[in-house]
Amino acid sequence: MVVGPVGAGKSTLLKALGLRDTPVRKTESVEFYSAAVDTPGEAFEIPTLYHMLIMSSMKASLILLLADPTKRKRFPSRFALSMRAPSVGVVTKIDAASEEQIESAEKALLQCGVKKIFRLSSKTGEGMDDFRSFLAGLS
């Protein structure tokens, strides 16, 4: 299940992983695919919608918490710990970000409660092999 701010690259990552077959467009609601759950960024950004994520996470085996290093967004402290599944952090769009931006995104993810963080680009494929191996190792 992917979680994170609007535009972080959640739907694009699922598409790159082959976990969603439909074209990427604005995610308006929680969407269930055969092996993944996509969620709208609003559910992460607007606290009154948190329950959508908490309930959907009960169906998930892993939460991917995404951060876009090119945009500063608020990552609530220890938020990942309220999910009903273990979580890992993912810094997306590394093809478009500086090292400083990537490190700052990693800091935000850590204080949000994840322990492990991947850096990748769904666009260039950088970092995707490592990430795919990690996911394959879980099942």
CA 64 from chain centre, in angstroms, equals: 4
CB 92 within 8 A of CB 122: yes
Compute the distance between CA of residue 37 and CA of residue 46 in angstroms, rounded to an integer: 19
x-marked contacts with ligand GDP along 18-57 as a string, rule CB under 6 A = ------x--x-------------x----------------
Nearer to ligand GDP, 56 or 92 (CB): 92
Q: Considering only residues 81 through 120, tell me which ones interact with ligand GDP, judged by CB under 6 A.
A: 92-93, 95-96
Q: How far is the CB of 3 from ligand GDP (least distance, A)?
A: 9
Query: Which residue type occupies 126?
Result: E
**E strands within the chain?**
2-3, 31-32, 37-38, 63-67, 87-91, 117-119
To which H or E segment does residue 44 belong?
helix 42-45
Q: Is 12 in the site for Mg ion (CB under 5 A)?
A: no
- Which range binds Mg ion by CB under 5 A, 4-12, 71-79, 108-116, 123-131? 4-12
- Contacting positions for ligand GDP (CB under 6 A): 4, 6-12, 24, 27, 41, 92-93, 95-96, 121-123
